[in-house]
Amino acid sequence: MSDIIDILACPVCGNPITKTNNKLSCSNNDCKKSYSLLFDNIFSFLDNDQSDDTELSIEKWNEFYSDKTKFDDYEKRYQLYLSDNYDNVYRQISENKKFDEKTTILLEIGCGPMFLARALSDKCKLVVGIDFSIKALKTAKAMLEKNKIKNYILIHGDIKNMPIKDGSIDIIYGGGVIEHFTDTYTAIQELYRVLKPSGISFNTVPHLNIGSLTYRQVWGNIPNFPVLKQIAEFIHIKLLKSKHMTFGYELSFLATHLKYLHSKAGFKKVEAKKFETKLMFEFIPTKILKNSMSWLANNSPLFWPMIKVIGTK
């Protein structure tokens, strides 16, 4: 517990957190903000007053996890993740930053059931998950405890204002997360703040291209480009009342813009390029179309579904 408390900080003033029974308090006498320990290793720091984009995403993701609460179902999903995605993600992260089981602190933002951090828990000193969906965190806790993983902490909080001390994280991973905020730059600044010097932030983000302007509209993607953004927001939010926004508010980005935002936040080295992963196009009805789309998505930047942006502090 001491290692866990050591990395926590008050999201209001940035001072250390103290723990008494099931209560957490800011150590600053002028602040004295209090927080809750919901369960062992789940800490609640989420402010009830959230922006409209965050409220929409919380609603959508709580709904998503409410429909998938069976432990066995998530275990099957985890095993599928290990076979289809884990090796690719681990390789691409470790090409930029090596893991050390005695020192590495890994933060998975928007962690959901925490598949990646769970898989990497034996390669880290501590794995930290943060999500604004309490239903997702309860699922993650059940899976971690069932598999006797103890070196973890789960935070119910906002990645734009994390209860984590400056310079305390070695590796940050976000699998499709930072695009869910209208103010992406503030989220990136926060990632920079909590990283140690030479730490890396590794995020996958929807790519703004022909794909995001066509088939990603099925789930309400917003192209982060002048005029296109305002038109898409008007259609999906105002006219359609967020009906198709399956994952809440979601932007797609040009690689150049992501590099600009990371550099502006202070990252000394930034790369943005194709994210290598197994592609699934289950919504395409015929095998011929599915194979054609898969070829395009693998070989043409005009159809890459996701890009990875890696920032080194």
pLDDT, tens digit (0-9, with 9 covering 90-100), for 140-179? 999 999 999 999 999 999 999 999 999 999 999 999 999 9
Number of C-beta neighbours around residue 179 at 10 A: 24
pLDDT digits (tens, 9 = 90+) for 212-255: 898 788 888 999 999 999 999 999 999 988 888 888 899 999 99
Q: Which carries the bigger pLDDT value, residue 242 or residue 274?
A: 274
Q: Is residue 160 in a domain?
A: yes
pLDDT at 85: 92
Among 43-47, 120-124, 150-154, 177-181, the minimum mean pLDDT is found in: 43-47
Q: How far apart are the first and last CA of the chain?
A: 28
Calculate what percentage of the chain has a pLDDT beyond 90: 61
Q: Is residue 13 in a domain?
A: no
Contact 204, 307 (CB under 8 A): yes
- Mean pLDDT for the stretch of residues 43-64: 78
Amino acid at 127: V
Q: Is residue 6 in a domain?
A: no
Among 5-14, 19-28, 74-83, the minimum mean pLDDT is found in: 19-28
Q: What is the mean pLDDT of the chain?
A: 89
Q: Is residue 21 in a domain?
A: no
Q: Is residue 240 in a domain?
A: yes
pLDDT at 279: 66
Q: Which carries the bigger pLDDT value, residue 119 or residue 58?
A: 119
- Select from 184, 159, 191 the least CA-distant residue to 45: 159
Residue with tokens 């990497």: 120
Q: Is residue 36 in a domain?
A: no
Q: Is residue 73 in a domain?
A: yes
Q: Which domain holds residue 301?
A: 41-312
CA distance 311 to 169: 13
Q: Is residue 226 in a domain?
A: yes
Distances (CA, A) of 9 to 20, 130, 185: 15, 14, 21
- CATH classification at residue 281: 3.40.50.150
- Confidence band (pLDDT; 50, 70, 90) for 280? low
Q: Is the pLDDT of residue 43 over 80?
A: yes
Contact 284, 290 (CB under 8 A): yes
Domains: count for the chain? 1
Number of C-beta neighbours around residue 175 at 10 A: 21
Q: Is the pLDDT of residue 54 over 90?
A: no
